Amino acid sequence: MALHEIYMQRCLDLAALGAGSVSPNPMVGAVIVHNDKIIGEGYHQKYGKAHAEVNAVKIVTDRYDNYVDLLKQSTIYVSLEPCSHYGKTPPCADLIIKHQIPKVVVGCRDPFPQVDGKGIEKLQAAGIEVTIGVLEKECQWLNRRFFTRVQKQRPYIILKWAQTADGFFAPADGTQHWITGPEARKLVHQWRAEEDAILVGKNTVLADNPQLNVRYAEGKSPKRVVIDRRLELNKTLNVFDQSVETLIFNAIKTDIDGKNKYIALEDFDRFVPQYILFQLYLQDIQSVIIEGGAHTLNSFIDAGLWDEARIFTGPSVLNDGIKAPVVGGTNTGEYAVGANSLQIFTNLPI
């Protein structure tokens, strides 16, 4: 079993390389082993492109003249159940059967209804030995965004904010007050590159005029989501610069202006977080990082709609102002990020 776990961990390491590039698909890694030696490996690199199993098999067929015999004597490890349906690519289960790979080790089942056990059943029906559940929790955690979208019909929600040492979010007048240092800001930009969308409320846009993009890290900028009930924000603000798709939730109009898309909610007095998340789900947005302000963060907390909270605490003191949000959940650890402390909380398990 120890060898199984070693090879599955390699699958997870490979899969993680697809972060920020494969949504709304899951991150998947695959490793092909022959006589205790890895002869091929791959991962899902980009949405709509070849899956992990395809890339791993291609390494073998490109590298070895005797690939036919090698694959017939190998084991393929996959962090997520091989797909069994035609989507943007052919079924990976069919590829494994075609090459007569006799053993498949799967990290966890795929919850997507068109797969969910069907890939495993197809392999077993072809006489292939399938082992399921190696590093299962780790495999599920890696794809927690995908699992949440499929099982809960909403994006995975990450709350992020910074607070002073005495627990304040901002000065009482809502003006900008930097709490975090450069190290924390770089980390936040890396987080942005890993998620599909970033959400803020009107007051945050007014106070900070943020760009909400990725400047201090590598990767693509997420879609921007702004809550502006009465459409009071000036069109010259950075969030409307047409650099990335921006969704503006409001109570007035549904319209498209280039990359700025206005979405009217029928009821802005009740269930606003729920309505917004359902709209994002319909647009294949798999994860959202919510960066403020305090009212917006609290509306999602009060609705119980969050999965992770990433909270920076800085050394400064305000003595008065807007109180920082408070979450329950499980504290998974505290880390030093420059002069700041970072605590990460998780809500109920997937």
pLDDT value, residue 175: 78
Q: Which residue type sits at 114?
A: Q
- pLDDT confidence band for 323 (50 / 70 / 90): very high
- Give the residue-averaged pLDDT of 178-199: 95
Number of residues in the chain = 350
- Inform me whether the pLDDT recorded for 348 exceeds 90: no
pLDDT value, residue 278: 96
Mean of per-residue pLDDT scores for the chain: 94
For the segment 92-129, what is each residue's pLDDT rounded down to a tens digit? 999 999 999 999 999 999 988 777 789 999 999 999 99
- Give the residue-averaged pLDDT of 325-345: 95
Residue with tokens 């969030």: 239
For the segment 195-226, what is each residue's pLDDT rounded down to a tens digit? 999 999 999 999 899 999 999 988 899 999 99
Q: Catalytic residues, which ones?
A: 53
- pLDDT confidence band for 89 (50 / 70 / 90): low
Element at 346 (helix H, strand E): strand 340-346
- pLDDT confidence band for 87 (50 / 70 / 90): low
- pLDDT confidence band for 183 (50 / 70 / 90): very high
Residue 302 CA to residue 207 CA, distance in Å, equals 23
User: In sequence order, which ranges of the chain are alpha helices (DSSP H)?
Assistant: 2-15, 52-63, 67-72, 92-98, 118-125, 136-142, 144-152, 182-194, 202-208, 272-282, 294-302
- pLDDT confidence band for 279 (50 / 70 / 90): very high
- Inform me whether the pLDDT recorded for 156 exceeds 90: yes
For the segment 284-322, what is each residue's pLDDT rounded down to a tens digit? 999 999 998 899 999 999 999 999 999 999 999 999 999
pLDDT value, residue 28: 97
pLDDT value, residue 85: 67
Nearest to 261 by CA among 302, 228, 213: 228
85-94, 115-124, 172-181, 268-277, range with the lowest pLDDT: 85-94
User: Cβ–Cβ contacts within 10 Å for residue 175, how many?
Assistant: 11
Residue 34 CA to residue 76 CA, distance in Å, equals 9
pTM over 0.85? The answer is yes
- Inform me whether the pLDDT recorded for 44 exceeds 80: yes
- pLDDT confidence band for 88 (50 / 70 / 90): low
Q: Are the C-beta atoms of residues 44 and 28 closer than 8 Å to each other?
A: yes
- Inform me whether the pLDDT recorded for 173 exceeds 90: no
